[in-house]
């Protein structure tokens, strides 16, 4: 059973840094390559660039929660929510409601 997971290409779980601009500030986010692939997919499904998607997600989380203490973890859990939605409704086109003003 574990071979399915342990035998994956190490490139999928290597940490990747990307420099992005969020809330007017340049920052670097480090998460695993597999998560960046999903974030790019989610952004594309929303007809957004990845940078715009990240900025919108950050702004929404800030508006809802008052702060964003661990954005990398928010990104990872957002990917999980996206995948769970696809697994539950594979035939549906997934559009997410964007709260923050564009």
Specify the DSSP class assigned to residue 31.
Answer: E
Report how far residue 23's alpha carbon sits from residue 58's, in angstroms, rounded to the nearest whole number. 8
pLDDT in the model for residue 93: 62
Domain-embedded: residue 67: yes
**Total domains in the fold of the chain:** 1
Does any domain span residue 9?
A: yes
| Residue 55 forms part of a structural domain | yes
pLDDT averages per 10-residue partition of the chain, 102 residues: 84 96 93 98 95 96 95 97 86 56 38
Number of alpha carbons in the 13 Å side-chain half-sphere of residue 2: 1
**Is residue 17 situated within a structural domain?**
yes
Question: CA 45: distance to chain centroid?
Answer: 12
What pLDDT is recorded for position 77?
96
CATH code of 13's domain: 1.10.3990.20
Q: Is residue 42 part of a domain?
A: yes
Q: Would you say residue 80 lies in a domain? A: yes
Task: Residue 80: give the domain boundaries.
Answer: 2-88
- Asked, for residue 64, whether it belongs to a domain, the answer is yes
- Quick one: pLDDT at residue 94? 57
């Amino acid at each position: 059973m574990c071979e399915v997971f342990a035998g994956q290409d190490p490139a999928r779980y290597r940490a990747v840094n990307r420099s992005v601009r969020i809330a007017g500030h340049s920052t670097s986010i480090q998460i695993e390559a597999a998560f960046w692939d999903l974030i790019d997919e989610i952004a594309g499904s929303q007809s957004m660039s990845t940078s715009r998607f990240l900025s919108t997600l950050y702004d929404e989380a800030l508006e809802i929660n008052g702060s964003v203490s661990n954005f990398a973890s928010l990104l990872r859990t957002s990917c999980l929510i996206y995948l769970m939605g696809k697994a539950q409704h594979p035939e549906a086109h997934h559009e997410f409601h964007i709260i923050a003003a564009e």
